[in-house]
Structure 1
Amino acid sequence: DPYSFTDQEAEIMERLSKAFMGCEKLQRHMKFLLAKGSLYKVYNNNLLYHGCVPLNEDGTLKSVEIYGKKYRGRA
């Protein structure tokens, strides 16, 4: 299965996940980004957007689920 991790990759992902979840400073940063951040912004009549904006096939903004809540657009 090309979508499955090898044992070594799974171990690395587990260690990264534990490090991420256990880092209070990083958790504060992520909570700030979720509360104040956005995928795009209009500034001086220019559309500025993050390089990883999830889109549907037709180019519309895709709905994504984060912590059990769905977001799309200016959410």
Structure 2
Amino acid sequence: MQPVRLVLLLLAGAREGENDFLEFPSLQDAIAFGRELYNEPRFQLEGIEDGNGKQLILFDQLNELCRSPIPTPRRSYG
């Protein structure tokens, strides 16, 4: 699996209005970090793209994923 980039729109500071990119080894890792940043006033989650800049997850879908609760693994007994 190739690394992916979480795209953030900066909402404050000297680079306000510019995009910033954070690289992660997988989509799951990028989404997990996006959940941590969700509702952060300094950033807006814009999407996730591959190393070539191709959009893998768009704004609406990413924000829906990050807004939803973290799935809890089911335990099986037996």
Fold agreement, TM-score > 0.5: no
Normalised-by-shorter TM-score class? under 0.3
Task: Using CA pairs under 8 Å that are at least 6 residues apart, name the structure with larger relative contact order, 1 or 2.
Answer: 2
TM-score normalized by the length of structure 1 = 0.26
TM-score normalized by the length of structure 2 = 0.25
